[in-house]
Structure 1
């Protein structure tokens, strides 16, 4: 294995609840569960019976000066619930389109507290256990602010909230760069007590989340930012315009942090040199987060944008040079006009590495805009090649074990044991897969969803665009 020592220990830790200090245990502490973005829960149910529903509400958001405001309901992409067990009680941390971050009791959907942001909350937060104090902090992003625009001097679209009290600890003024966004959708990655995060302004930052280290800037308390690195090349402004947005969450592999960018790059940041030293160019907008596989590679998803070829999912070996030689395989998927998208994959890939049953293959799963759920044997390829996203480079194609129609989706499927829970605009589905990778549908619930679910103890928690957060299970 190519895992560095720190990465290996973190991946092993994230397979079990983490004691945050005092009475709190972190069950799902960040988007897709851990530093490899590849842990999704412990035990999946065998049916989707409704246990409870909670109305998240609705809220206005500003699209632009020209387009004006819109009202959105529930929660959207990525929107995965965070889970914390305090003493013997499980709680959900959920951002919503009514502008509020909410703490909800998982047993019955009872609201404990809510805190108002300046705009709708799309992305998943990260739970940070302070190493110096018995304090659990939620690091959460939002859109830039209702009735605010890119040129506004103060955009506090990233904030730290105390988990127990629901009170703000600091706010970050996200600066304006060449990108057309100052939102924050990504989930921070915690390494050695520091937070690493990609912002939609096109910057990758390293900062100290501890409130006692915060500084007064712009008239209010802000976290201390230690580093800032640009996630686009200057020539990208010609090919991508202002679409230089980073919406993904970084992952940890060995001594590197990897992150995908809307500018068309997969970047590798070296934790020792504190520099970006690996840069693979796909050319496409990439919204999904890179996912670490058991053979120390990365799965990255590509939208159909800014490229002559198709979008899809690609396996990269970052131990190789950042050129075509590092591509283990590429699976192109169909074009489909959904909202502003033209095809490809918006969400992240998922893998079964942490809960793979004995005798089952190492699989990856992806949802596509052209309505399919794919199950892939990510360690094996076909003998033939397919055209890559640039329509000129040929790559091996992976072995596709099965695919099934689920409707257009930007959500990420999650794999727990031999079960897959996946969602999209047609509904949420529960599948079982065989040792041969064949899918069998066990249950479904019909409601439109963009968010990613999470599983714990035979329960599925997921938010929808109809306004509700749901708990399903046995």
Structure 2
């Protein structure tokens, strides 16, 4: 019998000689086995590559900010699961996989997810207004002044998410209540949840699928609210005076983060808090929590009080987490990073970054996939430090002694500077100023690529960019859409929609619709026409 040589290579099978029938049968069997090996191997390799690509590419708005091109699937084995607090591969992506939606202010732990398209590229139509008549208004006191507050404001971005075949829109407002609406109709899914004062910040929806909403109020409490009952129910609340010492006031503007059963939240009591939630379900199937405050620290230090010259050191932004570090700033201009890596083992967080901007820094810190921080600061005090440092900064936390990569100044007027949280899109950072300018910066150099102006004076809204489309509202009550496909060119106007009332709150964009409130008193849904 002549010998039979069969060679298997990637994508190829070579048979050298076929002899008698018995040999042929053996070869055919070998051929089939070899083909199966190649097919299974190819499918596994392709799946690995797709998974790797999925972790490095941003859906909808374009590539993940700062992400490098994926490597060859055959070059190395699949990386192990990320064991830290916030995976760098999640930059620009949704807040986990268990709940579809925009679940917290700016969408995820690095504050870099803006929603999901498609988006209206032509003038939209009004889908609904809530309430249909009247306004979301109440009386509230601030700095000794009592006045009527209406609608929603800074930051005020609604949460939009899908549950049981329905899309929910949840937000707090100046009528002292949290509202739970059907995204299609604007009708209530649950009764309103009342608090003792206005709600300025954005709610957070539990990213792990527990029917829980987290929200603060100017009444002094940050709450955990269950939504699996006939009416929303308060399960727990953290008082602003539960920790000592405190400064400034008892409001809660920040949108909390929930990571691995921990709640991370800063307050206008000027303290940063970490709460172990101990979420679960009771015998009746209803969600439960048993929270325990496991860490808190003042957001200020003696040096800041000396440098700033006052006690306005409240934490009004929403904390951000990248890898094992949580970042936040305060109204005294102190930017901080705290290492969380030992928290699960009972070790207290350690401060790893301290940087002073010189002025009120209420915009949330944004972190890109390389770990750089984008920090917007106001220009109110007009001190030497604020003039020297600038109002839009890129910081490198790996160089805590000299972290400034670049800075752009906005010192032409007081109050000026940056109030809204910047957005990252491809190779640019986009932000707006209190004076109404909107700028696109080269993320590598900080060079201004383009700038345009919005009418209506102050602009506090945070820009939203999805599917090459930038959404910005102004204080005359107009929502604008711009094409930013060419990041080097000034954005091209696509449409304007007149709502009325200053659009101060950040819009939520989800599958063809925009949801946002105005200071005129209502929340609106616009959809593609």
Q: TM-score with structure 1 length normalisation? A: 0.82
Name the residue aligned to 1:118: 196
2:438 aligned to 352, 355, 373, which one?
Answer: 373
1:71 aligned to 126, 143, 148, which one?
Answer: 148
State the secondary structure of the residue aligned to 2:408.
strand
Name the residue aligned to 1:442: 494
Name the residue aligned to 1:163: 227
1:57 aligned to 128, 136, 152, which one?
Answer: 136
Q: How does 1:354-393 map to 2 (within 5 A)?
A: 356=426, 362-379=427-444, 381=445
Structure 1 vs Structure 2 CA RMSD: 2.4
Q: How does 1:118-267 map to 2 (within 5 A)?
A: 118-129=196-207, 135-143=210-218, 145=219, 155=220, 157-165=221-229, 166-175=232-241, 177-210=245-278, 223-238=291-306, 239-267=308-336
Question: C-alpha displacement at 1:2, in angstroms?
Answer: 10
State the secondary structure of the residue aligned to 1:280.
strand
Indicate the structure with greater helix content.
Answer: 2
Assess if the C-alpha contact under 8 Å between 2:87 and 2:323 holds in 1.
no
State the secondary structure of the residue aligned to 1:31.
coil
1:316 aligned to 379, 395, 405, which one?
Answer: 395
Name the residue aligned to 1:216: none
Q: How does 1:346-361 map to 2 (within 5 A)?
A: 346-352=419-425, 356=426
Greater shift, 366-375 or 54-63, is seen at 54-63
Is 1:405 aligned to 2:470, yes or no?
A: no
Alignment partners' CA distance in 1, 2:295 and 2:413 = 39
- 1:94–1:11 CA distance, 2 compared to 1 (3 A): farther
Alignment partners' CA distance in 1, 2:319 and 2:217 = 17
Alignment partners' CA distance in 1, 2:253 and 2:84 = 26
- 1:222–1:411 CA distance, 2 compared to 1 (3 A): farther
Assess if the C-alpha contact under 8 Å between 2:266 and 2:272 holds in 1.
yes
Alignment partners' CA distance in 2, 1:210 and 1:123 = 24
CA deviations on 1:279-329 (whole Å, 9 max, x unpaired) are 111121100000012332010001013433445210001111x23x31111
Q: TM-score with structure 2 length normalisation? A: 0.74
Alignment partners' CA distance in 1, 2:393 and 2:513 = 31
Assess if the C-alpha contact under 8 Å between 2:92 and 2:112 holds in 1.
no
Assess if the C-alpha contact under 8 Å between 2:67 and 2:369 holds in 1.
no
Question: C-alpha displacement at 1:209, in angstroms?
Answer: 2.8
- 1:138–1:413 CA distance, 2 compared to 1 (3 A): same
Greater shift, 458-467 or 51-60, is seen at 51-60
- 1:333–1:49 CA distance, 2 compared to 1 (3 A): farther
Assess if the C-alpha contact under 8 Å between 1:414 and 1:422 holds in 2.
yes
Alignment partners' CA distance in 1, 2:95 and 2:261 = 18
Is 1:41 aligned to 2:95, yes or no?
A: no
Structure 1, gaps ≥5 residues long: 146-154, 214-220, 357-361, 382-397
1:452 aligned to 494, 506, 511, which one?
Answer: 506
Alignment partners' CA distance in 2, 1:350 and 1:17 = 16
Assess if the C-alpha contact under 8 Å between 1:77 and 1:452 holds in 2.
yes
- 1:264–1:17 CA distance, 2 compared to 1 (3 A): closer
Alignment partners' CA distance in 1, 2:195 and 2:279 = 18
Name the residue aligned to 2:102: 28
Name the residue aligned to 1:419: 469
CA deviations on 1:167-191 (whole Å, 9 max, x unpaired) are 1111111116442211000011222
Alignment partners' CA distance in 2, 1:450 and 1:11 = 31
Question: C-alpha displacement at 1:334, in angstroms?
Answer: 4.2
Name the residue aligned to 1:149: none
Assess if the C-alpha contact under 8 Å between 2:129 and 2:522 holds in 1.
yes
CA deviations on 1:73-101 (whole Å, 9 max, x unpaired) are 11111100101201221101110100000
Assess if the C-alpha contact under 8 Å between 1:372 and 1:403 holds in 2.
yes
Indicate the structure with greater strand content.
Answer: 1
Assess if the C-alpha contact under 8 Å between 1:171 and 1:223 holds in 2.
no
Alignment partners' CA distance in 2, 1:178 and 1:172 = 14
Assess if the C-alpha contact under 8 Å between 1:363 and 1:375 holds in 2.
yes
Question: C-alpha displacement at 1:212, in angstroms?
Answer: 6.6
- 1:445–1:203 CA distance, 2 compared to 1 (3 A): same
Question: C-alpha displacement at 1:129, in angstroms?
Answer: 4.8
Structure 2, gaps ≥5 residues long: 1-65, 69-81, 282-288, 343-348
CA deviations on 1:416-454 (whole Å, 9 max, x unpaired) are 121100123123211111422421111122331111111
Is 1:466 aligned to 2:520, yes or no?
A: yes
Assess if the C-alpha contact under 8 Å between 2:261 and 2:279 holds in 1.
no
Alignment partners' CA distance in 2, 1:102 and 1:210 = 25
State the secondary structure of the residue aligned to 1:170.
strand
State the secondary structure of the residue aligned to 1:236.
helix
Assess if the C-alpha contact under 8 Å between 1:268 and 1:276 holds in 2.
yes
Is 1:303 aligned to 2:378, yes or no?
A: yes
Assess if the C-alpha contact under 8 Å between 1:100 and 1:115 holds in 2.
yes
Alignment partners' CA distance in 2, 1:312 and 1:424 = 20
